[in-house]
Chain A
């Protein structure tokens, strides 16, 4: 099905542990494997504490180590194993082959430098250009991301711009070197809805024009439905379900995905009471040995507490980690 498509990013069996206060280590990301194919938008969804940001930081090699520690796995970007690279070599990859947009447009720009300096620095780091040429690129990038009076804005400081404008500058900066992969960690969470709609559309436009792929990290299922091609749902460090976006929304298989979609307040229903998931996301120190969702799951069985469920693949392209779906039943379910 996906054989012909080329993977830009391949994450294999990635586990990340953190040193805890009591001297023990806990796996906050456990055996995560996925691929981002050329030209697609893959969304990584989960609640806070699910390990989605840690995963993205590990891909960028921006994790503080220690306390973090990558205990197993490979991260391949265009075939190169990032985890084997020297940190010096990493900086030629970051901002060049892949770049990142962060949640906080307020804190991710340097307050003491003008927009022009910040953009030019990034461009000249990866391209052999003089200042004038880099400035021209910076200006055209700002125009491309829809900043109305780019000639004026380029000479301004970050505090003179609104949140939406800053996020546009961040996108311009991230896309300036035509990266193959864009990591977007909750890029619209800090923005108002009307601005969010503009930024999402801009990101998709930039992706098309520059031929990049996006790994989109978010907690908002509505945003996922509007932007992603494929979705991965993460819970307490494990990917519980992945698949094409339409499948995930119309026919979710994992009890957590189902519950997450039901609890989402939506404009479509007139129900006053919302369905809830009892309990809260467990903290890494009390993850259960088996399926980590089992303490909150309605369908929990004895086996769920003890063993981690294996992946079951469906014909629809969904991959689910749940004891409800055994190999045989999967076959029966699909026919």
Chain B
């Protein structure tokens, strides 16, 4: 079990301050990422699931330092990138890329595909024009697009094809790590599976590491090796995919899995898994963040915040398992 760690995140916090109406008002912050620690092993896919507002996108953006963390450390290949600035940071950033959710707004409508794909190469390496052009052609072939795409504009492509261009752009400068922020959510099911398969093929071929952010548990199940479940800025459960899906422990993970519509005509589902909505992130519950909606809430949940505990295979932040885990 000695896997090489590519990225390690320690006590990461990203807080956004909220504009006050008057100076008298108390300072408010949204804790989008609240004290998260995790590791991403080389060559694996870590899936991050959560509802909207759970902070999963902010986590991804913070790891790439597109959003400045409030506190905490991020290690990329054991180098603390949180402290780096300027060209030093850029050097490491080149090895990390992102694929965005919306294939319609993440590509510049006025640039030809060839230029879009060359842009990242121009920004960093000393590649000649010819080298860049041949690289563009190999990239297009890798993501399954025809070579004549080079001279076309983004609007000439369908959503699925644009997402392939987005992936090609992320691959342009041979990154080691790619964050996919809901990369298939805007696509139709029949196209979604094509893009997922492509991402898995590329991972194998280039030995990529993925952080795959999605709200769709079934998609995450297909692509991930390990899964982290987020709720209101916290990771409530993290572990090997098999464990999370076969034996979810945190009440929120259980509810999330139950809420997915299933094709099963043998039994009718009766129970409403969860009541209410996600609490306002500006005013999160004290204690365990999930206690307002939890069916198993205990007095201590309202007072103390449970920490992630357990083995590497499955960690859960819930008092229900506190004793069992410490005894084990």
Instruction: Jot down 27 A-B pairs with beta carbons below 8 A, ordered by A.
Output: A47-B189, A47-B190, A162-B277, A193-B215, A193-B217, A193-B256, A193-B259, A194-B274, A195-B51, A197-B261, A197-B272, A219-B188, A221-B189, A222-B263, A226-B262, A245-B265, A261-B263, A264-B189, A265-B216, A265-B218, A265-B222, A267-B218, A267-B260, A272-B200, A276-B197, A278-B194, A281-B190
- Pairs A-B, 8 closest by C-beta atoms: A222-B261, A274-B193, A192-B51, A47-B188, A277-B190, A265-B218, A225-B263, A197-B259
How far does the alpha carbon of A293 sit from the alpha carbon of B214 in the complex, in Å? 30
Q: B-facing mask of A263-277, CB < 8 A → 1, else 0?
A: 111111001111111
Chain B residues within an 8 Å CB radius of A226: 261-262, 269
CA distance A233 to B3 in the complex (A): 47
A277 surroundings in chain B (CB, below 8 A): 190, 193-194
Is A250 at the interface (CB under 8 A from chain B)? yes
Interface residues of A (CB under 8 A from B): 47-48, 148, 162-165, 192-198, 200-201, 219-223, 225-226, 245-246, 249-250, 259-261, 263-268, 271-278, 280-281
Query: Chain A's nearest CB lies how many Å from the CB of B93?
Result: 30
Closest to B262 in A: A222
- Cβ contacts B247-290/A at 8 Å (1 or 0 each): 00000000111111111110001001111111000000000000
| A275 close to B272 (CB less than 8 A) | no
Docked CA distance A176–B259 (Å): 28
- In angstroms, how far is the closest chain A Cβ from the Cβ of B88? 38
The reply to whether B217 and A267 contact each other, CB–CB distance below 8 Å, is yes
A193-B215, A280-B158 are known contacts. Are A267 and B188 too (CB-CB below 8 A)?
no
Chain B residue nearest to A164 (CB atoms) is B277
A271 to B197, CA, bound (A): 11
Are B190 and A221 within 8 A (Cβ)? Answer: no
Chain A neighbourhood of B272, CB < 8 A? 197-198, 201
Query: Given A164-B277, A194-B255, A263-B192, do A225 and B260 touch, yes or no (CB 8 Å)?
Result: no
- Count residues of B near A (Cβ-Cβ below 8 Å): 44
List the count of A-B residue pairs having beta carbons below 8 Å apart: 122
> Closest chain A residue to B216 by CB distance?
A265
Q: Is the CB of A259 within 8 A of B188?
A: no
- Within 8 Å CB of A246, what residues of B? 265
Contact (A274, B197) CB under 8 Å given A193-B51, A265-B221, A266-B218: yes
Contact assessment for B193 and A275 in the assembled complex, using a CB-CB cutoff below 8 Å: yes
A263 touches B193 (CB 8 A): yes
Q: Is the CB of B261 within 8 A of A223?
A: yes
B60 within 8 A of A: no
Q: A283 CB to closest chain B CB, in angstroms? A: 8
Question: Nearest B residue to A261 by beta-carbon distance?
Answer: B263
Contact of A195 among B223, B260, B277 (CB under 8 A): B277
Query: CA A223 – CA B273 in complex, angstroms?
Result: 15
A221 to B51, CA, bound (A): 20
* Cβ–Cβ < 8 Å partners of A275 in chain B: 193
Minimum C-beta distance from A55 to chain B (A): 17
Quote the shortest CB–CB distance from B42 to chain A (angstroms).
19
Q: Which of A259, A264, A266, A280 has the most CB of B within 10 A?
A: A280
Using Cβ atoms and an 8 Å threshold, which residues of chain A touch B74?
A: none
Decide if A194 touches B273 in the complex (CB within 8 Å). Answer: yes
A318 to chain B, nearest CB (A): 15
Task: Collect the chain A residues with CB atoms within 8 Å of residue B133's CB.
Answer: none
Contact flag A280-B161 (CB < 8 Å), given A223-B261, A246-B265 = yes
Nearest CB on B from A205, distance (A): 11
The answer to whether B160 touches A280, judged by C-beta atoms less than 8 angstroms apart, is yes
- Bound complex: CA A198 to CA B271 (Å): 10
User: Are A274 and B222 in contact, CB atoms less than 8 angstroms apart?
Assistant: yes
Docked Cα-Cα span, A73 to B63, in Å, equals: 56
Q: How long is the Cα–Cα vector from A186 to B14 in the complex, in angstroms?
A: 34
CB A197 to nearest CB in B, in angstroms, measures: 4
Return the chain B residue nearest A200 by Cβ: B261
User: How many Å lie between the Cα of A271 and that of B221 in the bound state?
Assistant: 10
Return A258 CB to nearest CB of chain B, in Å: 12
A196 CB contact (under 8 Å) in B197, B245, B259: B259
Q: Is B196 among interface residues, defined by CB-CB distance under 8 A? A: yes
Closest to B184 in A: A265
**Best-buried of A48, A268, A276, A281 by chain B (most CB within 10 Å):** A276
**Docked-complex contact A165 and B277, CB < 8 angstroms:** yes
Pick from B193, B222, B265: contact of A276, CB below 8 A.
B193
Contact A267 B189 (CB under 8 A): no
Q: Is B191 in contact with chain A by the CB < 8 A criterion?
A: yes
B271 to chain A, nearest CB (A): 9
Q: Is B108 an interface residue (CB 8 A)?
A: no
Q: Output the least CB separation between B201 and chain A (Å).
A: 9
Q: Find chain B residues with CB under 8 A from A193 CB.
A: 51, 215, 217, 256, 259-260
Q: Which A residues are in CB contact (< 8 Å) with B215?
A: 192-193
Indicate if the CB atoms of B261 and A48 lie closer than 8 Å: no
* Chain A residue at minimum C-beta to C-beta distance from B260: A193
Q: A274-B193, A281-B188 are in contact. List 9 more A-B contacts (CB 8 A).
A: A193-B259, A197-B273, A225-B265, A265-B189, A265-B196, A265-B216, A265-B222, A266-B263, A268-B262
